[in-house]
Amino acid sequence: MTNVPANANELTIAQARDALRAGDLTAVDLTMACLTAIDAGDTLNAFVHKTPEIALDQARAADARLAAGGAPDLCGIPLGIKDLFCTRGVPSQAASNILRGFRPEYESTVTRRLFEAGAVMLGKLNMDEFAMGSSNETSCYGNAVNPWRIDDRLLTPGGSSGGSAAAVAADLCLGATGTDTGGSIRQPAAFAGITGIKPTYGRVSRWGIVAFASSLDQAGPMAKSVRDCAILLQAMAGHDPMDSTSADIPVPDFEAALTGDIRGKVIGIPREYRMDGMPAEIEALWHRGAEMLRDAGAILRDISLPHTKYALPAYYVIAPAEASSNLARYDGVRYGHRAKLAQGDGIIEMYEKTRAEGFGPEVQRRVMVGTYVLSAGFYDAYYNRARKVRALIKRDFETVFAEGVDAILTPATPSAAFGLGEMANADPVQMYLNDVFTVTVNLAGLPAIAVPAGLDGQGLPLGLQLIGRPWAEADLLNHAHVLERASGFVARPAKWW
């Protein structure tokens, strides 16, 4: 073999697919390159359970399938899997001590689909505990670290899919799965200079993914390019009888949609996303992104989404409410951790001690907030009111789409990556503000993608977000593809780890 790249782990999925099919590369060599990079990248704390034996078995099977011809796009492509996905026989802890030792007897639909398509699992990826966090600092495994660095400080890769973002940005894997309840794919993608898409609610099955807030949770891919996201989403998406909210509608060919032609498309620029105190660099990047789309033939239109400012407070009622219900199952009976009991302790003490030991502070806080807003006397004042505001937020989007808007351009995050520990003494609400541009999309169930679009003055990546119509991921990816090409973002973090 003469065309084997020196560092195959640095390839995109599309490049690796073509090299594997051409016989220039074997899945085993590609997997070995990733496993070597993972071992050399322990400082990043991205992979928290490594599965080299599974990976090499899958890679050998992929090579046989490739040799036979007609192998799917993902055949032999090494991926990292967020710890939130249940993977059969492999620790799946949602980065929580309460699930220590849990080895699922079943496979999530998303990972099953990926493995059936020939993908290789390198291991499980760090994240915020139960996906509750925006900095990967609530993980029971410790912080994941952003491969981007500008001084002595270690920076957050964002959260909750922080390990996924760090692993992809550091070339430890070719792509990764993420999940997004309030921005947990898009914010880390933006912080790490990679691409991530949250699909329309119902596009990807939630079966076998540890539930946080079931009406908001949606899994999606995180990868090095828009094309790679398209390839991954193709394999992940589709109807699943095991998830009653999974949509029984056809999945289009996402990669074929990347034509680069967006002439005549209407791009909405929502005035409510121009936040007070937003860094000028982010405002400028947003403006440049809009110009790039206009230069490609799109029509810019100023739009209003009047209830935007109420999205965060509505989210921080609804998500904890659903979480308090979903997390009631962690009681020390059926799986995971059970506290050591004292003489005479009954079942209530077992629940209370188990949950106090097993859940970290942020998860405890959210479960208690959720318990409070659902409790007698407060249900209408908080939970029902939040659900009404949610309906209004969705209506805002429906109105602009009905008026002909095809996609909406916004910043992905209100800042670049910040230092690990810098928010340690902040009010919990300060951390929640990270989701200000992303959370509306979950409340409305829409697809949205974060695309790296430039570096800030310090040299850290900044992302832009495109929001699409329901089920219009194909168009959305095409818009993102145009933005990706026009911005020409090719910066990579300099290897220091």
* Residue numbers 403-432 binding other proteins by CB under 8 A: 427-429, 432
Place of tokens 């080299």: 52
Binding residue (CB under 8 A) for other proteins from 268, 332, 360, 461: 332
355 binds other proteins (CB under 8 A): yes
Binding residue (CB under 8 A) for other proteins from 2, 53, 105, 151: 105
Binding residue (CB under 8 A) for other proteins from 352, 456, 486, 497: 352
CB-CB neighbours of 313 under 10 Å = 16
User: Rounded to the nearest 5 degrees, what angle is found at the Cα of 358, between the Cα atoms of 156 and 243?
Assistant: 80
Binding residue (CB under 8 A) for other proteins from 85, 115, 382, 401: 382
Q: Is 270 left (phi over 0), alpha (psi -120 to 50) or beta?
A: beta
Measured from the CB of residue 102, what is the shortest distance to other proteins in angstroms?
5
Q: Tell me, what amino acid is at 250?
A: P
Cβ distance to other proteins smaller for residue 36 or 215: 215
Cβ distance to other proteins smaller for residue 17 or 366: 366
Place of tokens 């209408």: 380
How far apart are the C-alpha atoms of 139 and 96, rounded to whole Å? 7
Measured from the CB of residue 168, what is the shortest distance to other proteins in angstroms?
28
Measured from the CB of residue 81, what is the shortest distance to other proteins in angstroms?
19
375 binds other proteins (CB under 8 A): yes
Q: Which stretch binds other proteins (CB under 8 A): 33-41, 117-125, 224-232, 304-312?
A: 304-312
Catalytic residue among 92, 96, 134, 184: 184
How far apart are the C-alpha atoms of 398 and 446, rounded to whole Å? 10
331 binds other proteins (CB under 8 A): yes
310 binds other proteins (CB under 8 A): yes
Measured from the CB of residue 243, what is the shortest distance to other proteins in angstroms?
10
Binding residue (CB under 8 A) for other proteins from 17, 224, 337, 481: 337
The answer to whether the beta carbons of residues 200 and 473 sit under 8 Å apart is yes
Measured from the CB of residue 248, what is the shortest distance to other proteins in angstroms?
7
Q: Is 35 left (phi over 0), alpha (psi -120 to 50) or beta?
A: alpha
139 tagged catalytic: no
Quick one: DSSP state of residue 182? S
Measured from the CB of residue 395, what is the shortest distance to other proteins in angstroms?
9
How far apart are the C-alpha atoms of 145 and 131, rounded to whole Å? 16
Number of residues in contact with other proteins, rule: CB under 8 A? Answer: 73
Helix (H) or strand (E) holding 275: none
Cβ distance to other proteins smaller for residue 297 or 428: 428
Helix (H) or strand (E) holding 13: helix 13-22
The answer to whether the beta carbons of residues 27 and 71 sit under 8 Å apart is no
160 tagged catalytic: yes
* Residues written for the chain: 497
Cβ distance to other proteins smaller for residue 176 or 314: 314
What track of x and - describes contact with other proteins for positions 195 through 234 (by CB under 8 A)? -----xxx------------x-------------------
102 binds other proteins (CB under 8 A): yes
Tokens representing 292 are: 């790039």
CB-CB neighbours of 388 under 10 Å = 11
Measured from the CB of residue 96, what is the shortest distance to other proteins in angstroms?
13
What track of x and - describes contact with other proteins for positions 127 through 166 (by CB under 8 A)? ----------------------------------------
Dihedral of alpha carbons 67, 69, 74, 75, sign? negative
Cβ distance to other proteins smaller for residue 94 or 285: 94
92 tagged catalytic: no
Cβ distance to other proteins smaller for residue 299 or 433: 433
Cα-flanking dihedrals φ and ψ of residue 379, to 5°?
A: -55, -50
49 binds other proteins (CB under 8 A): no
How far apart are the C-alpha atoms of 255 and 241, rounded to whole Å? 25
Contacts of 18 (CB under 8 A, 6+ apart): none
Catalytic residue among 108, 134, 139, 160: 160
Measured from the CB of residue 300, what is the shortest distance to other proteins in angstroms?
28
338 binds other proteins (CB under 8 A): yes
Contacts of 421 (CB under 8 A, 6+ apart): 137
Q: Is 165 left (phi over 0), alpha (psi -120 to 50) or beta?
A: alpha
329 binds other proteins (CB under 8 A): no
* Residue numbers 230-289 binding other proteins by CB under 8 A: 241, 244-245, 247-248
Measured from the CB of residue 338, what is the shortest distance to other proteins in angstroms?
4
Binding residue (CB under 8 A) for other proteins from 21, 60, 394, 492: 394
How far apart are the C-alpha atoms of 60 and 62, rounded to whole Å? 5
Tokens representing 15 are: 């490049």
Instruction: Tell me the catalytic residues.
Output: 82, 160, 184
